[in-house]
Structure 1
C-alpha cells in the first residue's frame, strides 16, 4: 500500500511542476490560481511522501519519488509545453525509469 501512496506522491510532484510551468505562461489572476494549484499539489505530494516513508526506506522512497517526478515532468514538458524530445533526453529518462524499477525490486519493504 505504501508503494501506491509513494507513486501518487510522485504524480502530485508532476502536477506541482505542471502548475509551476503554467504560472510562467499566464499573468494576473490566472497566474495566482496556478500558483495556488502548485501549493496544493506540493503539500499533498510532501504529505504522501512523509506517510510512505513510515514503512519504506527513506533513501529508496525519496529516490523513487524524485524519479517519478523527474520522468513525469520531462514527459509533461515534451507533451504539453512542446519541449524537444531528443534521442539523448529520452535515453537518459529511460535509464531513470529502469533505475526506479530496480530500486523497487531490491527494496526490503
Structure 2
C-alpha cells in the first residue's frame, strides 16, 4: 500500500505542476482549484508512505517522480525543448533515486 501511495503521490505532483502552469499565476479558477486539490491529495498520499519509509528516500522518490514526470510532460505536451542533455540528466536523476531505494534500510520501529 505504501509503495502505491508513494507512486500516486508523485504522479499527482506532475498533475498539480501542470495545473499550476495552466492557472497562469492563479488567475484562472478551474486550474487553480485543480492545483489545490491535487496538492492536498499528493501530500496526503506522501504522508501515508512516510509511515512506512524513511523520510529522505521517500521524499527523493516523490520529488524524483514529480521532477522527471513534469519535465517529460513539458517536453512532450508543452513544447519545451528536448535535448540529449535533458534526457541524460533525467536518467541520472532516476538512477540516483533507484540507488537510494536499493540501499534504504527499513525505518526504525516500523
Query: Quick check: TM above 0.5?
Result: yes
Distance 2:77 2:21 in 1: 10
Match of 1:81 among 78, 83, 86: 78
Distance 1:69 1:51 in 2: 17
Instruction: Specify the alignment match of 2:69 in structure 1.
Output: 72
Match of 1:96 among 74, 78, 93: 93
Structure 1: state its 5+ residue gaps: none
Q: 1 or 2, which has the higher helix percentage?
A: 1
Instruction: Specify the alignment match of 2:21 in structure 1.
Output: 21
Q: Given the two structures, how large is their TM-score scaled by the length of structure 2? A: 0.89
Q: Would you say 1:11 and 2:8 are equivalent positions?
A: no
Q: Describe the SS at the equivalent of 2:44.
A: helix
Distance 1:57 1:22 in 2: 33
Q: Given the two structures, how large is their TM-score scaled by the length of structure 1? A: 0.90
- When the two structures are aligned, how many residues end up with a matched partner? 106
Residues 23-46 of structure 1: per-residue CA shift (max 9 Å, x gap): 239x96xx2100100000000001
Q: How many angstroms does 1:72 deviate by?
A: 0.4
Instruction: Specify the alignment match of 1:39 in structure 2.
Output: 36
Distance 2:101 2:11 in 1: 16
How well do the aligned residues superpose, as a CA RMSD in angstroms? Answer: 1.7
